[in-house]
Structure 1
Amino acid sequence: MTYTESIAEEPIKEQVLKTSTHLSTDKTSYLAGENVKITVKVSDENGRVLSNADVTVTITPPIGRITTIRGTTNLNGSVTFVMSTKRNTKKGTYQTKADTTISNYESISSTTSFQIR
């Protein structure tokens, strides 16, 4: 009599790597009418830049509509957005959040704020 032994194989788990997202503005305070420059830099946990990461920036004003901007990081791992303001733009603190996603990497967020005076 012969028999065959079978061994159940465990599914291969895909390794998910960690990222680092840095969100910044070129100034912390702006006069109404100035442009707000928002930069997002994405790297892996070892500091290597990640190009082609999808970035969604959400800007929440003190009162009013939330603005959402989307882009993709360049070869230097960064993407820059410009938010135009007008003299009648609501004054106060604006909360800014960047969410980044890229294949085989953990999604991560970063936040900052700026003032319109």
Structure 2
Amino acid sequence: MHPLREWVISPPYVKDHDAAQVWKLHEKRDIYRREYSDHWWSQNVDVVLCPPFQGTASRHDTAKYWGYTAIWNLLDYPGAVFPTGLFADPSIDIYQEPLRPMSAADGQNISLC
């Protein structure tokens, strides 16, 4: 299994569900999708432009924050990311050391990219 996939589906996020519970979750998801769509239709929204991530791209296999993209996965909406430049500009694209949690509990709530 890919390490990031294993991280995403590892406890405390994974719960055992029987088939009936899974179908109830699917129903809740579908209701949510319809409500989202109805709201957007009522506001004449055709396209949403938003950032795909909270900063520059993470190093490969290190991104552990999906807050910007999870909603589109849940809604099953297509998305695209357009690069804003071909090269980083060292004068403005300054490397920052990754955040370090103060305790093991803190590490569950922050991105370690």
- Where on the TM-score scale, by shorter chain, does this alignment land: which range? under 0.3
More strand by share: 1
Q: TM-score, normalised by structure 1?
A: 0.21
More helix by share: 2
> Larger relative CO (CA 8 A, sep 6+): 1 or 2?
1
